[in-house]
Amino acid sequence: MGTGGKVAILLFLIVSSMTAAPVSAIWGVTHDVVLSDTGPRFYDTETVGIWPYYYTFTMRGEVESYSTSWYSGSGHTKVVFLVIGVYYLEYASVRFSNTQGFTISRTYSQASFTGSFFYPFLDDGDGGPRSKLKMIWHYKLVGGGTF
């Protein structure tokens, strides 16, 4: 996108924030950050936001054959999107699944968390079912129009 396009989008966001139609109608009153990866070792990261507000989210984990497996997520309690507003974490969720139908779902009220579980299969690397780890940080808009 050229400089003219970026300026037009920024101008639209600024004008929208000053009119009766809130920018949250465009962005939404909720926002999710979603990370996922397939096993047996899981890693994903994403940085959201724009200057000067950047937020990095990280997911890690490992599934081990017939053993205790683990995961960890690192996120933020509050995220600020310029012009749009301030979002606070409602919950973070974890879902582990494999192609044999084994699933574990957990929900957290904090932005960073760790967990473990017993994995009753061979892991992906040892010829077991394909596994997937997915994490979601769910935010709700609590205040709008920041500059």
For 119-140, what is each residue's pLDDT tens digit? 999 999 999 999 999 999 999 9
Per the domain annotation, does 7 fall within a domain?
no
Per the domain annotation, does 10 fall within a domain?
no
Picking from 3-12, 43-52, 86-95, 102-111, which range would have the lowest pLDDT averaged per residue?
3-12
**Rounded CA gap, 135 and 137, in Å?**
7
Per the domain annotation, does 56 fall within a domain?
yes
DSSP letters along 61-118, please? EE--TTEEEEEEEE--SEEEETTTEEEEEEEEEEEEEETTS-EEEEEESSSSEEEEEE
Per the domain annotation, does 44 fall within a domain?
yes
pLDDT per position as a tens digit, 15-30: 334 333 344 444 579 9
Asked whether 116 and 17 are in contact (CB, 8 A), the reply is: no
pLDDT at position 8 over 70: no
pLDDT per position as a tens digit, 34-68: 999 999 999 999 999 988 899 999 999 999 999 99
Per the domain annotation, does 14 fall within a domain?
no
Per the domain annotation, does 5 fall within a domain?
no
DSSP assignment letter at 122: -
If you average pLDDT over every residue of the chain, what do you get? Answer: 85
**Rounded CA gap, 85 and 141, in Å?**
7
Structurally, the chain folds into a number of domains equal to: 1
**Rounded CA gap, 58 and 89, in Å?**
15
Per-residue pLDDT band for 143 (boundaries 50, 70, 90) equals confident
Residue 51 belongs to domain spanning: 23-144
Picking from 3-7, 49-53, 100-104, which range would have the lowest pLDDT averaged per residue?
3-7
Picking from 10-14, 42-46, 78-82, which range would have the lowest pLDDT averaged per residue?
10-14
Per the domain annotation, does 57 fall within a domain?
yes
Tokens of 6: 């970026």
Per-residue pLDDT band for 84 (boundaries 50, 70, 90) equals confident
What's the half-sphere exposure (Cβ side, CA atoms, 13 Å) at 110? 7
Per the domain annotation, does 16 fall within a domain?
no
Helix H or strand E encompassing 15: helix 3-17
Whether the ω angle into residue 129 lies within 30 degrees of 0, i.e. cis, is no
